[in-house]
């Protein structure tokens, strides 16, 4: 279980354990996931980086354990959308007072594509943007300033606008083994014991310890 401290390094106020600075119940963050910000106070992540995330829409941001989120990464939620099925893109329901509409229909102003779900051990690069409804698999890497509009498979590197797959990080067999082991769910002491094998980049080293 992660300690309740905010800063992983006592001398570094630009990096936080994200779980310990979140107060919004619609944002769920796993243990040891960290966010770095050298422009704004990283403590303000939910205000500066989670955008158009209004309670009326009931959508969630779910981030797994041991993720690394770089400065300026943004999570763009459903209320940023305008309805594509309407004959007009203008969001009339938002301005219900002006047009004499029922406030209960305010969410008709946008298309609701669902939650944003980030797996475990995901690295999200500098100023990347993740759109509503996207799921990013365990171990994926999101390139700098990528705009992610579609799901990203586990252990896949994506980049560009819109983001597209560049390559898989490991072979299909190694990916399957990692997804089976789920090292991020191990007890802390077990992870500490096997950091050398995890860092080695050789799945066989970790498998020998795991099996």
Do residues 129 and 56 share a domain? yes
DSSP-derived secondary structure for 141-182 = EE-TT-EE-S-B-TTEEEETTTTEEEEESS-HHHHHHHHHH-
- Predicted local confidence at residue 178, as pLDDT: 94
Residue 82 annotated to the active site:
yes
pLDDT 10s digits, 103-161: 999 999 999 999 999 999 999 999 999 999 999 999 999 999 999 999 999 999 999 99
- Same domain for 136 and 54: yes
Tell whether 157 is covered by a domain. Answer: yes
Residue 174 has pLDDT above 70, yes or no: yes
Note down the domain range covering 115.
Answer: 15-83+110-169
pTM: 0.93
pLDDT at 203: 85
Q: Which of 58, 82, 105, 194 is catalytic?
A: 82
Quick one: 67 and 162 in the same domain? Answer: yes
């Amino acid at each position: 279980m992660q300690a309740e401290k905010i800063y992983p390094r006592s001398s570094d106020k630009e990096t936080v354990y994200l779980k310990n600075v979140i107060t919004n119940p619609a944002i769920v963050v796993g243990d040891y996931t960290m966010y770095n910000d050298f422009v704004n106070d990283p403590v303000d992540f939910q205000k500066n980086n989670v955008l158009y995330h209004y309670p009326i829409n009931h959508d969630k941001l779910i981030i797994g354990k041991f993720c690394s989120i770089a400065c300026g990464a943004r999570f763009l939620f459903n209320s940023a959308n305008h309805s594509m099925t309407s004959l007009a893109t203008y969001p009339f329901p938002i301005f219900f007072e002006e047009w004499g509409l029922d406030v209960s229909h305010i969410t008709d102003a946008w298309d609701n594509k669902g939650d944003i779900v980030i797996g475990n051990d995901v690295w999200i690069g500098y100023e990347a943007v993740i759109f509503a409804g996207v799921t990013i698999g365990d171990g994926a890497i999101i390139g700098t300033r990528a705009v992610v509009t579609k799901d990203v498979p586990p252990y896949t590197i994506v980049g560009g606008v819109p983001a597209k797959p560049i390559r898989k990080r490991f072979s299909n067999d190694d990916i399957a083994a990692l997804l089976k082991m789920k090292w991020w769910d191990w007890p802390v002491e077990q992870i500490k014991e096997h950091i050398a094998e995890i860092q080695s980049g050789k799945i066989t080293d970790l498998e020998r310890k795991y099996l």
